[in-house]
Amino acid sequence: MPHPVAIHFREIDAAALAAAPGRLVVIAAPGERPSQALRQIDRRARGAILRALASEAFAKLKQGEAMDLAFPSGLAAEAVQLVHLTRRASVTEARKAGASIAKGLGFAGALVLAGPHRLAHEISFGLALRAYDFGAHKTGAPKVFGEVGFQVSAPEAVALRARPMAALAEGVFFARDLVNEPANVLTTDDFAARLAAMHELGLDVEILEEAALKTLGMGALLGVGQGSDSPSKVVVMQWNGGPKGEPPLALVGKGVVFDTGGISIKPAQGMEEMTMDMGGAGVVAGVMRSLALRGAKANVVGLVGLVENMPDGRAQRPGDVVRSMKGDTIEVINTDAEGRLVLADVLWYAQERFKPSAMIDLATLTGAIIVGLGHENAGAFSNNDALVDALLKAASAEGEGAWRMPMGDAYDAKLKSRIADMRNSVGRPGGAITAAQFLARFVKPETPWVHLDIAGVALPPDETALAPKGATGWGVMTLDRLVRDGWERG
């Protein structure tokens, strides 16, 4: 997997700025008094930098945006990048500034004059997140990002604040890599192996194979994968960084490595993107990686159901009835409503085995949530106001869009089946809500729970502020923040 770009923090040194190859970056704001270091390199550049900072073009830039001066005379740099960022900028604007730097980053790297900016660590984090390239399957030379140096007023203090962000960036990258991989590479076996390798980080990883799932009675999950040559699995990742015996936070992810829709087959157009239908499991894996890398002082368990939904002679049919681990029976109306069947069994297993203090599931579950919220927000459904409010606060703090959606008895009533305890699909109206109501039937009343439908945000059609086009890793930062704010001790 690609690792985040190497970033170092150093004392301010005007001579090093003048001699830096690659890109020289200046964090500044219109009308701001230039520092001594900036005045020194401006003299070498014959006044070009301060003239540009005083220009109308620079003043028109929004916070976090940038402009370039190519091959400035008097300096070794191939370009000077001027980034508009006031000292009162928000965290989101600071990360956007870092992303602007990353967009121009190449093999020669960059040296950033951030000076005393209070959000220098956030600028570096935005840079790390945007300097990502998934080129594993291209035959050309891989894109390489050179090292980045930040010249700041208090390098040790900034480095200390940035250290946990490096672990978080690696978790985001891990989630992105998983979602970007094609299904002929990321089979259920390969996915499970990548998760098992994280035992080296201190995670306790356990893989439940089909025989164990049958013994547990996971008929809903197993029915989804019975038409595939890839065996269905559940992977359990435990991080025990909190007090011994304290109930964990449970994170549950949908891991459909490819979704044809099964016998209720999807249209051909766009089906290639169904490699991302394991996005929820990817996020859970990314969070668990980040927690382990930064040594989080919390107990968290991540569980992912890994299956492939294929239409062969053994595949599940519309009209079939399956029995869940809970014991409830489900009439399969639509085999393309498969993610909720996977989650139903894993949610119940998580509660039965771990008795979690709270439970959050993530899934690229419905196209209906994209109709409702587009690609800007995930849909949040919950049985607990305090938990969902904390999650939405964490998402807002991290700049990841999320919006609470309604639930209620009227939606739940639509799940009634003629021949079983419930049916898995009730049609298009309120589709994201009825899917959440289905999941709610597998959540015990005493368990605080949030369901996150991330279908619109896991793989949006265009690049985002902090990610190139492709997988975003949406949710890793939100859930890491939620753990820090609500579950960590000490």
Secondary element (H or E) of residue 325: none
pLDDT of 143 above 90: no
Provide mean pLDDT across the span 109-127: 97
490 pLDDT band, cuts 50/70/90, is: low
Provide mean pLDDT across the span 186-202: 98
Strands 402-404 and 422-423: unpaired
Q: Among 111-115, 143-147, 186-190, 282-286, name the one with the lowest average pLDDT.
A: 143-147
Provide mean pLDDT across the span 290-314: 98
pLDDT, residue 263, reads: 97
List, for residues 400-424, the tens digit of each pLDDT value.
Answer: 999 999 999 999 999 999 999 999 9
Active-site residue, 233 included: no
180 pLDDT band, cuts 50/70/90, is: very high
Q: Among 92-101, 140-149, 291-300, name the one with the lowest average pLDDT.
A: 140-149
pLDDT, residue 142, reads: 82
pLDDT, residue 352, reads: 98
pLDDT of 396 above 90: yes
Which phi and psi angles does 320 have, rounded to 5°? -65, 155
In contact, 201 and 285? CB cutoff 8 Å: no
Which listed residue (43, 143, 194, 266) is catalytic?
A: 266
Half-sphere exposure of 87 (CA within 13 A, CB side): 8
Query: Chain-wide mean pLDDT for the chain?
Result: 97
In contact, 339 and 261? CB cutoff 8 Å: no
Secondary element (H or E) of residue 480: helix 476-486
**Cα(77)–Cα(17) distance, rounded to whole angstroms?**
9
Active-site residue, 214 included: no
Provide mean pLDDT across the span 185-195: 98
Which listed residue (254, 340, 423, 441) is catalytic?
A: 340
Instruction: Count CB atoms within 10 A of the CB of residue 404.
Output: 16
pLDDT of 53 above 80: yes
Q: Among the residues of 8-74, which ranges form H helices?
A: 14-19, 36-44, 48-53, 56-59
In contact, 369 and 379? CB cutoff 8 Å: yes
pLDDT, residue 36, reads: 95
Which residue reads 């919950």 in tokens? 382
pLDDT, residue 1, reads: 65
382 pLDDT band, cuts 50/70/90, is: very high
pLDDT, residue 140, reads: 85
pLDDT, residue 230, reads: 97
Instruction: Count CB atoms within 10 A of the CB of residue 138.
Output: 10
pLDDT of 469 above 80: yes
pLDDT of 141 above 90: no
Tokens of 249: 């936070």
Provide mean pLDDT across the span 32-39: 94
Provide mean pLDDT across the span 306-333: 98
List, for residues 90-112, the tens digit of each pLDDT value.
Answer: 999 999 999 999 999 999 999 99
Helix (H, G, I), strand (E, B) or coil at 450: strand
pLDDT of 329 above 80: yes
pLDDT of 37 above 70: yes
In contact, 171 and 263? CB cutoff 8 Å: no
Tokens of 290: 């980040």
Instruction: Count CB atoms within 10 A of the CB of residue 342.
Output: 31
pLDDT of 2 above 80: no
243: CB partners within 8 A, 6+ apart: 299, 489
